[in-house]
Amino acid sequence: MVPIAHLSAGLAVYKISSISNLQIENSILMGTALLGSLAPDIDGLFGSKMKDHRYTIFHAPIFWLSIYLITHALLTTFGYQQFLTYLITFIIGTFIH
């Protein structure tokens, strides 16, 4: 998929998230959703060939689930619950990717 298609998926995640969380600053939430939709393609920065980039760790759902669980635990443990909406929006963007 081309980056514009990934960004469209991120925009859809943002729209859904902003409906349920009207108190969140929309520009940050949109940026979080868009970054999440592009995050699995971060391997492109490391010189991975486009035809092989789906076989890296960044395209494995278990990788992103692990990142989510660890980050959620850290945010909850250290009292940063206000960032959970951003984390959830980011991770939904990665799975929609």
Q: Alpha-carbon torsion 57, 60, 62, 63, what sign?
A: positive
Tokens encoding 31: 């940026």
Distance between CA atoms of residues 10 and 69, nearest Å: 21
Helix (H/G/I), strand (E/B), else coil: 50: coil
Contact indicator for 89, 33 with CB cutoff of 8 Å: yes
Whether the full predicted model's pTM is greater than 0.85, yes or no, is no
Tokens encoding 15: 């729209």
Contact indicator for 39, 97 with CB cutoff of 8 Å: yes
The pLDDT tens digits of the residues spanning 44-73 come to 777 656 666 677 888 888 999 999 999 999
- Residue 71 has a pLDDT of 96
